[in-house]
Amino acid sequence: MGSLRTLLRYPDDIYPLLKMKRAIEKAEKQIPPEPHWGFCYSMLHKVSRSFSLVIQQLRPELRNAVCVFYLVLRALDTVEDDTSIPTDEKLPILIAFHRHIYDTDWHYSCGTKEYKVLMDQFHHVSAAFLELDKGYQEAIEEITKRMGAGMAKFICQEVETVDDYDEYCHYVAGLVGLGLSKLFLASGSEVLLPDWEQISNSMGLFLQKTNIIRDYLEDINEIPKSRMFWPRKIWGKYADKLEDLKYEENSTKAVSCLNEMVTNALTHIEDCLKYMSALRDPSIFRFCAIPQIMAIGTLALCYNNVQLFRGVVKLRRGKKLYLYTPFHIII
């Protein structure tokens, strides 16, 4: 639940931590009896313990669609991330992934731990996908197709300019925003604003850019080869190589670069607020707002913080869980 020392230092964390523990236990007891839905929901809890609770509070029909969408995206991500797959084998899988989701005989073994289980037993996700209404299926298929093609493009291309950065983040996260807006529309709970594509995209870009900033050290130290998502156009003003930012003698330059990256991410905030202001359904609002609040908290922690180049900078677990606790329990 968190170390005793942390709990004594932050006693206000104890209540949300206990609430969260109970909420997780309750969610785990509510796993559906059908094997494919049972697999999907228990997999969802495994790959994202706290976010799965936010999905859980959506209305059942939309919840099923979001659960399948989330797992399809995680699976696509597992293929993209697996550095042991040769490029000539990876590209066709990414490009054809939107067709594989219709095929309950398809599976491709890759990834590690729970992601390997997800890939090996992907037929459960396909079976669940095939039970969704056509409107949900079409939205998931279209986004998976565009995302797979975008990921394939960036396997062979580095993030040089800020436009490249925005384009890469569009494929891996902005499209998720577009897809979710379509699912909300298909559920009948929400309507779309005229500029829905632009603002849905910004919702994803803000989350993804925060992840890219936060994960600098983890990505640069990745074995066998570091992964670089910070645009050269920005870091090139401060260092000859992106990895040089992690060395102590470059601390001042590194922090200036970090602050420019955070400022870049903050440009999406206005669109995000516009998107969230237009939502009508309180459960959809919570689903969208909680990851955004977490991202703002993470950026606040990263800004001007040299520790980002030394180790992990993450929101304290208790603080994070406080956000996940349903509002009416706290107030």
**Which sequence positions are flagged as catalytic?**
168, 214, 227, 287
Q: Nearest Cα to 39, choosing from 173, 158, 131, 175?
A: 131
66, 119, 132, 258: residue in contact with ligand IN0 (rule CB under 6 A): 66
Asked if residue 128 binds ligand IN0 (CB under 6 A), the reply is no
| Residue 244 CB, nearest approach to ligand IN0 (Å) | 26
16, 111, 204, 231: residue in contact with ligand IN0 (rule CB under 6 A): 204
2, 15, 24, 48: residue in contact with ligand IN0 (rule CB under 6 A): 48
Residue with tokens 């920005």: 234
37, 39, 41, 70: residue in contact with ligand IN0 (rule CB under 6 A): 70
End-to-end CA separation in angstroms for the chain:
23
Do 190 and 279 touch, CB atoms closer than 8 A?
Answer: yes
Do 183 and 198 touch, CB atoms closer than 8 A?
Answer: no
| Residue 172 CB, nearest approach to ligand IN0 (Å) | 6
| Residue 177 CB, nearest approach to ligand IN0 (Å) | 3
Asked if residue 308 binds ligand IN0 (CB under 6 A), the reply is no
Do 305 and 313 touch, CB atoms closer than 8 A?
Answer: yes
Nearer to ligand IN0, 104 or 283 (CB): 283
Residue 20 token pair: 């969260």
Asked if residue 254 binds ligand IN0 (CB under 6 A), the reply is no
Residue 24 token pair: 């997780």
CA 271 to chain centre: 18
Stretch that binds ligand IN0, among 64-72, 92-100, 145-153, 238-246 (CB under 6 A): 64-72
Locate all alpha helices (DSSP H) within 101-220, ordered by sequence: 113-120, 122-130, 134-155, 162-169, 175-186, 196-214, 216-220
Site mask for ligand IN0 (CB under 6 A), range 266-305, x = bound? ---------------------xx--x--------------
Asked if residue 150 binds ligand IN0 (CB under 6 A), the reply is no
| Residues 173-192 contacting ligand IN0, CB under 6 A | 173, 176-177, 180
CB atoms within 10 A of CB 92: 11
Residue with tokens 């929101």: 315
Nearer to ligand IN0, 207 or 313 (CB): 207
125-163 b/e (C-beta count within 10 Å ≥ 16 → b)? bbbbbeebeeebbebbbebbbbbbebbbebeeeebeeee
| Residue 319 CB, nearest approach to ligand IN0 (Å) | 13
Asked if residue 172 binds ligand IN0 (CB under 6 A), the reply is yes
Amino acid letter for position 153? K
One-character DSSP codes across 31-52: --SSHHHHHHHHHHHHH-HHHH
23, 40, 71, 73: residue in contact with ligand IN0 (rule CB under 6 A): 73
Which residues contact ligand IN0 (rule: CB under 6 A)? 48, 50-51, 66, 69-70, 73, 172-173, 176-177, 180, 203-204, 207-208, 287-288, 291
